[in-house]
Structure 1
């Protein structure tokens, strides 16, 4: 039976990208960002197919509106998951039976040092803690994959993002495509050089994906979310099962899927708060 691989692709960790003007659909350099993101996704698809010619590859567009990758330019051997809102957000495809996951173009969590465009799910979120451990999107998505029994075998982004991933999944394949010099500055590989490294890394990761077991958070899960706007806390307090304190939203749940759904709702609430 062909293996099913989920490639979750964000934009901030793509080689050459350093500024919101390149990641925001309303800004002038966004079209360049889309092309760079699509090319990076293609490189990883190619690497997966090099190792597993019969693999079924799902590419989840996982940045902002989830409508960034250019469908007509994506490798035709992959299926594209795009649009939002959707179940499991950045990791949509896990519920379709994915057996291996990869992160492409990821960024470090909010507050990380020497990190490019660092944040956690939304600029208005300051921190997410699951069972008292701070996580960015890398950690949350790794734990979500683990709850489905799926290992994350590759991560690419800036050096800070790769280090964040390696702390969770030691010895897994990482591809640092740039080194942060500030929130909006980096020393980056040429996009074509980054693509070559991504393709080879994806091949290497597929050839030894059994070496890395899923990372699982033992339940029950205690989740705390620090947010920037007090109004977000006021709105969240109306949700069943939520406790609030100062700028922190707190809830307990038995599953990562449920925790992830709540986190997506909190992100939406931050967008309502003025």
Structure 2
């Protein structure tokens, strides 16, 4: 939702907040625009939409294109990419945001406020990098991203051949110059169709294992809990834990678990 045109403030992205309901509608409309582009290019395509913001219950099901299926709710296998498998031909990232520390970028963070940074073999990655790597592990290229200019640049660095739709130019963490929502949707429709037609020309993000994973956590109590997981140890710095994963899928799952542990408060 952070990468939807017109959305710039945390209260717009949190249930119960100012203009959250408007943001839900804007998010659903941009997803529908991407769907329309995909199905224009390949009318027989099977499209699965994974609601992947916050509680994973933001898209308005009754307003979504009736030709698709919707993955909704959490926790769930593969997290933000629920439903991804080895038969997936392409993945599109709609409404994405840049990683923590990737500013100036609108609402930049990595997974949640409980996670300060994630590094794979020393390289910082946010949700864009983690999800692109998981898609690549399953043989699916990320053919499109929409969001602010920083999010688009983040994926383009990993996947030079990907298509981008910058629906806003970041001025800071909570400010941007945005396209009109109608223009954002028109561009998404057009670019999604073009991206799907050339999906077999987009390279995969491949990170061969084993991988050294480091996660900087906001809360020291979460670090204490994390070290109870076999294979996870306290690393340099009071807020850093580390582990070695056999592959990207295992790394992704453990990062998900660490994020959920951060929701547990001291008894």
Q: Which region of structure 1 is more displaced relative to structure 2, 89-98 or 233-242?
A: 89-98
Runs (4 or more) in structure 1 with deviation over 3 Å come to none
- Cα deviation, 1:150-173, whole Å, max 9, x if unaligned, reads 111001100000000000000310
Aligned 8 A contact 2:161 2:203 in 1: no
Q: How is 1:206-217 mapped onto 2 (pairs within 5 angstroms)? A: 206-217=196-207
2:264 is aligned to 272
Aligned 8 A contact 1:38 1:73 in 2: yes
Given candidates 122, 136, 142, the residue that maps to 1:152 is 142
Structure 1: gaps spanning 5 or more residues = 1-10
2:68 is aligned to 78
- Cα deviation, 1:107-131, whole Å, max 9, x if unaligned, reads 0000112100000001121110011
Mapped partners of 1:150, 1:109: distance in 2: 22
Please tell me whether residue 175 in structure 1 is matched to residue 165 in structure 2: yes
Please tell me whether residue 262 in structure 1 is matched to residue 242 in structure 2: no
Please tell me whether residue 130 in structure 1 is matched to residue 120 in structure 2: yes
1:253 is aligned to 245
Aligned 8 A contact 1:229 1:273 in 2: no
Mapped partners of 2:139, 2:102: distance in 1: 28
Aligned 8 A contact 1:114 1:179 in 2: no
- Could you tell me how far 1:272 is from its partner in structure 2? 1.7
Mapped partners of 1:55, 1:96: distance in 2: 16
Please tell me whether residue 115 in structure 1 is matched to residue 105 in structure 2: yes
- Could you tell me how far 1:65 is from its partner in structure 2? 0.6
Please tell me whether residue 141 in structure 1 is matched to residue 163 in structure 2: no
- Could you tell me how far 1:263 is from its partner in structure 2? 0.8
Mapped partners of 1:217, 1:105: distance in 2: 24
- Could you tell me how far 1:75 is from its partner in structure 2? 0.5
Structure-1-length-normalised TM-score: 0.94
- Could you tell me how far 1:26 is from its partner in structure 2? 2.4
Q: Report how many residues are paired.
A: 264
Q: Which region of structure 1 is more displaced relative to structure 2, 40-49 or 259-268?
A: 259-268
2:54 is aligned to 64
Aligned 8 A contact 1:47 1:202 in 2: yes
Aligned 8 A contact 2:128 2:155 in 1: yes
- Could you tell me how far 1:96 is from its partner in structure 2? 7.2
- Cα deviation, 1:239-269, whole Å, max 9, x if unaligned, reads 1110113211101111211111111111111
Aligned 8 A contact 2:208 2:248 in 1: no
- Could you tell me how far 1:28 is from its partner in structure 2? 2.8
Structure-2-length-normalised TM-score: 0.97
Please tell me whether residue 218 in structure 1 is matched to residue 218 in structure 2: no
